[in-house]
């Protein structure tokens, strides 16, 4: 008799969602408490912007490097082992954040935290994708992301009630509590099967030594570029954009992040349902691209408007970029089990790390054309790259994942 297919709400999905909740809390915490934390270290308002971008980019560099390390280890040593190790590292990193005394220490510890945070999403998405049947995995991974992304909302409310150093201590404590919940989760059966096979596992170079694999990997990364352009530039520094557009009132970037992430969370859950209804990952992403373009139009036409209008634009942009789980799932579905975790872990962190390149373009334009023009020119470039990449990616909705790359 066939074994009953796992429910979408099984222990792996629930714990994966809680794990991503803690991951997002820690990942977005710097953006949320950037101003009070840097001001308490003696920086003025202007420095809180320039140094803030610098620290955020260093954190994203840690995510980029960590994504490669954890992805390789997840395919070699198992998805669960990576989840345990990454949680310990980013929990210790966030506790250390509560003790920093200067910018250099802040940069170093955010880099270490970034290294740890890089392992959570990819290993979790891979585990859920391999446990659930293909008819349910899109919904399962979207639930992981949708529930997990509310960690940013939680971080905002924690910031409203606690000193910024305490916010970091809370993040570290949540991480260690998460380790206890992981005890009941079983390893992926697909990984256990591949572990006994004589094939190369977690070989990052396999993504580059075959033209077809390299093309699939590259477009999988580029599809996600609009997400961190929106969060890392427009939302995180919405106060600076508001001043450039003469918005009538003070803007709290932490509130912008909260509004965006409430919408991203709803968007991610909806993306799984949309993908299921359309029976297509690509068409779901096309729809979300269109919503993101609408959000960009709203955001860059806030001249003289109220703070409420900006927060609404942030929410529309958030919902439009709420295809995070679907885009990571698409990446995971395109590669064999022996390098799947490497792909699913490196792809989202390559996107996060690409914020450094997007910021280079934005900053290069900033001096000559100002905040608004540099913002929308960068947005056009990012959206065009994403759209072209989506055209060339494969549809993976019906794909069976039980295979290996050779």
Mean pLDDT along residues 310-315? 97
Give the pLDDT score at 115. 93
Domain ranges for the chain: 11-183+191-392
Of residues 355 and 97, more confidence is placed in 97
Sequence-distant (6+) residues with CB within 8 A of 314 are 234, 235, 238, 256, 259, 260, 263, 299
- In this prediction, what percent of the chain has a pLDDT beyond 70? 95
Q: How confident is the model at residue 1 (pLDDT cuts 50, 70, 90)?
A: very low
Does domain 11-183+191-392 fall into CATH 1.10.490.10?
A: no
Give the pLDDT score at 119. 85
d(CA 151, CA 185): 21
Task: Look at the alpha carbons of 194, 199, 203, 206 in this order and tell me if their dihedral is positive or negative.
Answer: negative
Angle made by CA atoms 73, 76, 80, in degrees to the nearest 5: 65
d(CA 99, CA 244): 34
Give the pLDDT score at 2. 43
Give the pLDDT score at 183. 66
Q: Which residue has the tokens 């059966």?
A: 189
Of residues 7 and 325, more confidence is placed in 325
Q: What is the pTM of this model?
A: 0.83
- Encode pLDDT of 183-203 as tens digits: 666 566 666 777 677 778 778
Task: Look at the alpha carbons of 99, 102, 108, 110 in this order and tell me if their dihedral is positive or negative.
Answer: positive
Q: How many residues does the chain have?
A: 406
Angle made by CA atoms 399, 402, 406, in degrees to the nearest 5: 100
Element (H, E) at 205: none
CA distances from 198 to 195, 333, 404, 406 (A): 8, 22, 11, 10
- Encode pLDDT of 229-282 as tens digits: 999 999 989 999 999 999 999 999 989 989 999 999 899 889 988 998 999 999
Q: Estimate the share of the chain in helix, then strand, then coil, as percent rounded to the nearest 5.
A: 80, 0, 20
Q: How confident is the model at residue 6 (pLDDT cuts 50, 70, 90)?
A: low
* DSSP assigned state of 183: G
Q: What is the mean pLDDT of the chain?
A: 89
Give the pLDDT score at 202. 79
Of residues 53 and 215, more confidence is placed in 215
- Encode pLDDT of 325-339 as tens digits: 889 889 989 998 889
Give the pLDDT score at 139. 85
- Encode pLDDT of 63-116 as tens digits: 989 989 998 998 888 877 888 888 889 999 999 999 999 999 999 999 999 999
Which tokens go with 45?
């308002």
With the CA atoms of 144, 145, 147 and 153 taken in that order, what torsion angle do they form, in degrees rounded to the nearest 10?
A: 150
- Encode pLDDT of 120-171 as tens digits: 877 777 878 788 887 787 888 888 888 888 898 899 999 999 999 999 999 9
Distance of CA 107 to the CA centre of its chain: 20
d(CA 327, CA 145): 11
Task: Look at the alpha carbons of 151, 157, 161, 165 in this order and tell me if their dihedral is positive or negative.
Answer: positive
Which of 180-189, 201-210, 351-360, 394-403 is the least confident region? Answer: 180-189
Do the Cβ atoms of 125 and 84 come closer than 8 Å?
no
């Amino acid at each position: 008799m066939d074994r009953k297919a796992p429910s979408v709400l099984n222990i792996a999905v629930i714990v994966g969602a809680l794990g991503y909740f803690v991951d997002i809390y820690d990942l977005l915490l710097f953006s949320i408490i950037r101003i009070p934390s840097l001001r308490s270290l003696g920086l003025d308002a202007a420095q809180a912007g320039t140094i803030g971008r610098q620290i955020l980019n260093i954190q994203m560099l840690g995510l980029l490097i960590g994504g490669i390390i954890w992805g390789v280890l997840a395919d070699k040593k198992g998805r669960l082992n990576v989840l345990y190790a990454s949680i310990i590292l980013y929990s210790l990193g966030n506790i250390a954040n509560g003790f920093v005394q200067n910018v250099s220490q802040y940069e170093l510890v955010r880099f270490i935290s970034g290294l740890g945070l890089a392992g959570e999403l990819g290993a979790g998405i891979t585990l859920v994708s391999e446990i659930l049947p293909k008819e349910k995995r899109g919904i399962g991974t979207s639930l992981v992301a949708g529930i997990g992304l509310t960690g940013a909302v939680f971080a905002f409310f924690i910031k409203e009630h606690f000193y910024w150093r305490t916010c970091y201590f809370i993040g570290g404590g949540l991480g260690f509590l998460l380790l206890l919940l992981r005890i009941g989760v079983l390893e992926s059966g697909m990984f256990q099967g591949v572990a006994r096979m004589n094939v190369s596992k977690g070989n990052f170079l396999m993504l580059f030594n075959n033209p077809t694999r390299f093309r699939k990997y590259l477009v999988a990364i580029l599809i996600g570029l609009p997400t961190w352009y929106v969060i890392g530039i427009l939302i995180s520094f919405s106060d600076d954009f508001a001043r450039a557009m003469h918005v009538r009132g003070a803007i709290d970037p932490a509130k912008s992040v909260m509004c965006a992430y409430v919408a991203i969370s709803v968007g991610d859950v909806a993306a799984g349902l949309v993908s299921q209804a359309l029976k297509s990952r690509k068409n779901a992403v096309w729809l979300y691209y269109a919503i993101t373009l609408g959000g960009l139009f709203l955001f860059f036409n806030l001249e003289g408007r109220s703070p409420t209008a900006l927060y609404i634009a942030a929410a529309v942009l958030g919902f439009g970029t709420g295809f995070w789980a679907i885009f990571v799932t698409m990446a995971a579905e395109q590669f064999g089990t022996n390098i799947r975790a490497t792909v699913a872990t490196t792809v989202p962190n390559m996107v996060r790390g690409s914020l450094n390149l997007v910021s280079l373009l934005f900053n290069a334009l900033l001096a000559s054309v100002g905040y608004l023009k540099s913002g929308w020119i960068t947005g056009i470039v990012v959206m065009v790259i994403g759209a072209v990449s989506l055209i060339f990616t494969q549809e993976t909705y019906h794909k069976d994942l039980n295979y290996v790359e050779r």
